[in-house]
A and B are shown apart, each in its own frame.
Chain A
Amino acid sequence: MQETTTINNNFKSEEYFINMGPQHPATHGVLRLLLTIDGEIIKKVEPDLGYIHRSIEKMCERDSYQQIVHLTDRMDYLSSHINNEAVCLTVENALQLEIPERVKVVRTIIGELTRIASHCLWWGVMGMDVGALTTYFYGFRDREMINDIFEETCGARLTMNYNVPGGLMWDIHPNFVNRVKAFVKHFKTKIPEYDRLLTGNVIFQKRTKGVGVLSKEDAISFGASGPVGRGSGYSCDVRKYHPYSALDKVTFKESLQTAGDTFARYQVRIQEMWQSLSIVEQLIDNIPEGEHRVKTNAVIKLPKGEFYQKVETARGELGVYVISTGTKNPYRLKFRSPGFSNLSLLNHIAVGGKIGDLVATMATLDLVIPDIDR
């Protein structure tokens, strides 16, 4: 069903504005898009941000490093553990702390589980955005299991705050290993179910294939990262290129698709769930014994200098850029958030499509608004 969007010039068509958001079901939060539309065809998408901007970067300048970790939960709340980890790694690398193997492994396992949970939610919402409401509940069923594991071990379901500079807040719960194993076993039977329900659906494929195409060059130029970049064939997995924690000990395949359309990004995320499962499986059986935390000073002072740490959150590359003057607060702390760069390419790929295409495209960009409005 190729779309034919030639406009007959004999009819006078008029462009008009429409406000999508800040309260709109497809923007998943308080994102406001100013759309210029001609009939159903999108002419221009201009994001208007700042509805939940809390200026976390400014707050960081007055907080200690331990406090900053807690603020990062509130950025990309679906990858909160990985955000925490990014700040902790920055601090640990700056202090040149030797982190116990146990901590690294546990961090990686929870990080990958976070990624799966985030992708589960994304999958449910993706289905909902293209009109299949049932997916939402399937995605949440599985995400709920992960959240339960987190609740038991970390003490919270969403904003976990399990990382502290130097290790973990406390040791893992005795049930942790068994529950994770049970989840892995359960989830292996559920991803094929996802495929049967949505991936193979002909309407879904028609809605997503060839929609919102992003070329590899553009992906790099726009700073796309995570599944958005990998859907365009741009190999950008931080876990591969700059491995952190225990990721250098595991083998996994970076999921790449070359089509660059909405369906490719969809497939990348589905494959990523498999990859994350395999990482968890490789690590869960041999979590090394040892301390869950190394002692740090009560007041952490970073040496003078600049520190940069990249991690791969569920959405892409999160960068933490710290400029320290040797005091207990950072002089400047910048979060390079994946959503912000991914949002910047929305106009580029959505123009020319229909409103329905915009919604489908936006769903695969998987925007989390607090991540953009830091």
Chain B
Amino acid sequence: MTNEALQKLISSWFPNPEAGITPEPIQVSEGEGIAEPQEPINPSLLEFTEEGSQFLNVSVKPENLHELMTQLKASNETSFDYLFCLSGVDWGTALGVVYHLESTTYRHSIVVKVKTEDREDPNFDSVCDIWRTAEFHEREVFDFFGIKFHNHPNLKRLFLTEEWDGFPLRKDYVDEINMVIK
């Protein structure tokens, strides 16, 4: 599937109730303009962008994450069955997780991003019931970013010891002894 088609399909799964009416397919298929921030009301709860990336990027709210991911994997048209990268990112103010997905049948890719402003107790739904590889990757993210994942079967530190203070890959992490800052 092309990125446009993907965008059209996926955005139709999550209609924005504030947009009033459900978006008509013709309206959405007009192009990438839909997802751009200038658009007054986004017809979908998801935000799409291809700017500055070779993949189609989808931003999703934490509460819709698990549903979207389940759909992405389960839908016959998308069938994103291969989670090839799961990265935690510290955006400065927000903490987020970036999921890189690929379909082994159609060989198309998508990037799903989720963010939260809550730096004290960030948490998202775990996707390890959808892709089992997420189990380890989420533990890694938990270890280095302190992001908690609901329904994770074994969420504990993977690389660092249990008593380690702080989350090293966050931008505000300070460790004067071990870190060499140029």
- Chain A interface (Cβ within 8 Å of chain B)? 49-50, 53, 55, 57-58, 62-63, 218, 220-223, 225, 234-236, 241, 303-308, 310, 317, 319, 321, 323, 332, 334, 336, 340-341, 343-345, 348, 373
The residues of A that contact B55 with a CB separation of less than 8 Å are 308
With A57-B169, A58-B169 as contacts: A334 and B53 at CB distance below 8 Å: no
The residues of A that contact B136 with a CB separation of less than 8 Å are 340-341, 343-344
The residues of B that contact A308 with a CB separation of less than 8 Å are 53-55, 85, 100
Known: A310-B84, A345-B132. 6 other contacts (CB 8 A): A62-B180, A63-B182, A222-B132, A319-B85, A332-B90, A348-B132
Partner of B133, one of A55, A221, A304, A307: A221
The residues of A that contact B90 with a CB separation of less than 8 Å are 332
The residues of A that contact B82 with a CB separation of less than 8 Å are 220, 223
Residues of B in contact (CB 8 Å), total 37
A305–B52 touching, CB < 8 Å: yes
- How many Å from the CB of A256 to the closest CB on chain B? 13
With A221-B131, A344-B132 as contacts: A319 and B100 at CB distance below 8 Å: yes
- How many Å from the CB of A239 to the closest CB on chain B? 14
B51–A305 touching, CB < 8 Å: yes
Query: Is the contact region of chain A dominated by helix, strand, or loop, or is it mixed?
Result: mixed
- How many Å from the CB of A260 to the closest CB on chain B? 15
The residues of B that contact A310 with a CB separation of less than 8 Å are 84
Bound Cα distance from A323 to B53, whole angstroms: 9
- Chain B interface (Cβ within 8 Å of chain A)? 51-55, 57, 81-85, 87, 89-90, 98, 100, 104, 107, 111, 131-133, 135-137, 140, 144, 158-161, 168-169, 179-182
B159–A50 touching, CB < 8 Å: yes
6 residue pairs bridging A and B, Cβ less than 8 Å apart: A55-B168, A303-B52, A308-B54, A308-B100, A341-B133, A344-B132
With A234-B104, A336-B84 as contacts: A218 and B53 at CB distance below 8 Å: no
B85–A344 touching, CB < 8 Å: no
- How many Å from the CB of B174 to the closest CB on chain A? 12
- How many Å from the CB of A344 to the closest CB on chain B? 4
Bound Cα distance from A341 to B100, whole angstroms: 14
The residues of A that contact B132 with a CB separation of less than 8 Å are 218, 221-222, 344-345, 348
Bound Cα distance from A327 to B108, whole angstroms: 30
With A222-B132, A303-B52, A305-B52 as contacts: A334 and B81 at CB distance below 8 Å: no
B53–A220 touching, CB < 8 Å: no
The residues of A that contact B161 with a CB separation of less than 8 Å are 50
- How many Å from the CB of B136 to the closest CB on chain A? 4
With A308-B55, A373-B159 as contacts: A321 and B135 at CB distance below 8 Å: no
Bound Cα distance from A308 to B111, whole angstroms: 11
A223–B84 touching, CB < 8 Å: yes
The residues of A that contact B159 with a CB separation of less than 8 Å are 49-50, 53, 373
A222–B53 touching, CB < 8 Å: no
Select from chain A the residue with minimum beta-carbon distance to B179: A58
B98–A321 touching, CB < 8 Å: yes
B133–A222 touching, CB < 8 Å: yes
- How many Å from the CB of B3 to the closest CB on chain A? 15
Select from chain B the residue with minimum beta-carbon distance to A332: B89
Bound Cα distance from A50 to B136, whole angstroms: 13
B169–A55 touching, CB < 8 Å: yes
The residues of B that contact A344 with a CB separation of less than 8 Å are 132-133, 135-137
With A221-B133, A319-B84 as contacts: A305 and B168 at CB distance below 8 Å: no
Select from chain B the residue with minimum beta-carbon distance to A217: B81
B100–A241 touching, CB < 8 Å: no
Bound Cα distance from A366 to B161, whole angstroms: 26
A50–B158 touching, CB < 8 Å: yes
Bound Cα distance from A308 to B90, whole angstroms: 18
- How many Å from the CB of B63 to the closest CB on chain A? 24
Bound Cα distance from A304 to B51, whole angstroms: 10
The residues of A that contact B57 with a CB separation of less than 8 Å are 306
Bound Cα distance from A373 to B180, whole angstroms: 19
